[in-house]
Chains A and B, each alone.
Chain A
Amino acid sequence: MILPRRLRLAIFLLTRSFASMLGIVLVTVILGLALLGPVIVPYPDHVAGGIDLANKLQSPSAAHWFGTDEVGHDILTRVIIGARLSLLVGIGITLAAAAIGVPLGILAGLVGGPVREAIMRLTDLFLSVPGLVLAIALVAALGPGIVNAMIALILVWWPGYVRLADSKALSIRAEPYIEAARVAGAPTFRILWRHVLPNSLSPLIVKMSMDVGQAILAVASLGFLGLGAKPPTPEWGAMISIARGYLPEWWWYAVYPGAFIYAAVLGFNLLGDGLRDILDPRSHRG
């Protein structure tokens, strides 16, 4: 039984590092909030937009842990529901970007020649502008909104996966076991599926874990700029954008959603870092 042993080692390595543990805890909490959200929130009717002006802009108290916003919504409720949205969007962007980028990258790395040249130049092109600015340009053209923000972020995100998959495929292509499989008459698709993909999986998992965090941050950034989710959608960035107008007196309105963005991004980054240490011991430095 090799797997349980390796698993035990992985768990040992993860739990040994404080940073990785913090990452796991944060990600678990965010996942839990996202899954249980509608069940555990204290004021479920505040999600749909039941207005309670009598209780607007209340400071944090026993009834409203995080206070209330300008229409009397419980901020804790909205932040928890926001976790669901952010997580879905973050994971969605990452998966979609990987689904576009990884096949293209493997193709480029394996086929080589003019195909690779064409794919890589296209990739370079998208990587020639920092992602956020390109996303803003795309949203400006498509129009603001959460769906367009997602499309824009997917469009700027996939090239990173092409680069990663291409470099892995290039290095794996040179391995003797690929040659052996080819000589044994394995069809190209089988080589890709059974040999190249599993061997490029660990850096892919690490990158995806980190990217979920970065995608959450990017969506919140667009929301904050007024180019992403529109209020009253309980999106963290959009909430802060409204809350800005209520600073400094009603500070809690902006502070709590931001703390959740920070915790979520931090969690996925630390998790990715911890996974890298386990999956790719060579990259561990220092």
Chain B
Amino acid sequence: MDRGLTLYLARRIGLAGLMLFGLICLTFVISNVAPSDPAALAAGPDAGRSQIEQARREYGLDKPLPEQFLRYVGDLAQGEFGRSIATGRSVGTDLLRYLPATLELCILAMLIGVLVGVPLGVLSAVLKDGPIDHVTRIFAVSGIAMPPFWFGLLLQLAFATGLGWLPTSGRLSVMTLPPDPITGLMLVDAVLRGQWDVFREGLSYIILPAIVLSFPCLASILRVNRGEMVETLRADYITAARAHGVTPWRMICVHALRNAMLPTLAIIGLRWGWMMSSTVLVETVFDWPGIGLYAVSSAIAGDFKPVMGVTLIVGLNFMIASLIVDLLYGVLDPRLREG
């Protein structure tokens, strides 16, 4: 590994660490500008003054702010996100319980986005300005403009209540026992335990939310991939390959797609980061028991410890995604190392 690359990687990782610290500060500031009194919230609606004061001491809210901040950072370092004021449960435990459902949904949505978006992008670049290109363009713009929660309701109306092919919402029917967790991803667990009927049922529940979640991601993968492919197909080496008698299929899939892949990978990484944010809407529509639904129900109750926990997790995921994209660029594109 040359020195420029090492320096670039070190700088980028250092910056990510700094950003993480910044994010922790930001969540702390947001928690402390809240006009509502968390101690009063914790003590309950009927609490008297002394009970509120007791709650304040119990949660350490009577300490000076710098001390509270140090405690906050220390707790986070041990994976302790504080306790939900409404339920008294540990936010860390709750997050661990809800995160796999969100991850499962996001992974499936990303698979759909990549497996449909990349081929469609290639196809519309190759058949540029043809009917397929126009249809995919409208499709791509819709993906960005369509309110995900409305799209979800429409799909529920069509496929769940209308045609009756798929269940409306939830992760599994109440009658079905979920497989014993191995990975936490239910579909994977069902396969590992050989419970194929649970797998099929789980799939019927996850497919609609996954489609809704994948739509904006699919649209931007499609657009970026198409743009890059159009650009690459114009390059001299493609003309050279053509002149050498390389078959069109090999030329598109091997020569052109490989060179268009880096920006596509970048958008995939970026979209992975964004996905955890739009999952909030999708999970609400489909009652999907993930961190998004958890954040929204807590936010409505004014219980902000869980919301901050989710914000930190989503932010961390976003930072890791963009870090990986940048590192990938650094390794694959030598020009960047000089910056």
Interface residues in chain A, defined as those with a beta carbon under 8 Å from any beta carbon in chain B: 19, 121, 124-126, 128-134, 136-144, 213, 217, 220-221, 224-227, 237, 240, 244, 247-248, 251, 254-255, 258-259, 261-262, 265-266, 269-270, 273, 285-286
Contact = CB atoms under 8 A, between A and B. Distances in A.
B150, B227, B276: residue with the most chain A Cβ atoms closer than 10 Å: B150
B145 A262 contact: yes
Contacts of B162: 248
Contacts of B188: none
B35 interface: yes
B147 A227 contact: no
B278 interface: yes
A130 B295 contact: no
B295 A224 contact: no
Contact of B281 (A137, A140, A144, A221): A221
A30 B326 CA distance: 40
Nearest to B308: A137
A254 B302 contact: no
Nearest to B276: A130
Nearest to A244: B153
A262 B299 contact: no
Contacts of B302: 140, 143
A134 B312 CA distance: 10
Contacts of A131: 277
B299 A227 contact: yes
A225 B19 CA distance: 28
A266 B299 contact: no
Nearest to A141: B34
B290 to A, nearest CB: 13
Contacts of B298: 140
Nearest to A122: B22
14 contacts: A129-B26, A130-B318, A132-B280, A132-B281, A133-B276, A133-B311, A134-B311, A140-B298, A142-B34, A224-B149, A244-B153, A258-B154, A266-B142, A270-B141
Nearest to B144: A269
Contact of B277 (A133, A237, A251): A133
Contacts of A139: 299
A82 B227 CA distance: 37
Chain A residues touching B, majority SS: helix
Given A133-B295, A136-B295, A128 B319 contact: yes
Nearest to A263: B145
Contacts of A143: 35-36, 302
Given A129-B314, A247-B157, A140 B145 contact: no
Chain B: interface residue count, which band?
Answer: 35 or more
B62 interface: no
A125 B307 contact: no
A133 B316 CA distance: 12
A131 B277 CA distance: 8
Interface string B271-285: 001101110110011
Interface in B205-237: 226-227, 230-231
B22 A128 contact: yes
Nearest to A226: B300
Contacts of B33: 141-142
A286 B18 CA distance: 39
Contacts of A225: 280-281, 284, 296, 299-300
B30 interface: yes
A133 B319 CA distance: 14
Interface in B279-328: 280-281, 284-285, 295-296, 298-300, 302-304, 307-308, 310-311, 314-315, 318-319
Interface in B140-181: 141-142, 144-150, 153-154, 156-157, 161-162
B146 A262 contact: yes
Most buried by B among A134, A248, A269, A286: A286
B57 interface: no
A129 B145 contact: no
Contacts of A244: 153, 285
A121 to B, nearest CB: 7
B307 A140 contact: yes
A137 B145 contact: no
A258 B144 contact: no
B146 A133 contact: no
Contacts of B318: 128-130
B337 interface: no
Contacts of B125: 286
Contact of A247 (B35, B144, B153, B295): B153
Contacts of B299: 136-137, 139-140, 144, 225, 227
A255 B148 CA distance: 13
A133 B280 contact: yes
Interface in B20-35: 22-23, 26-27, 30-31, 33-35
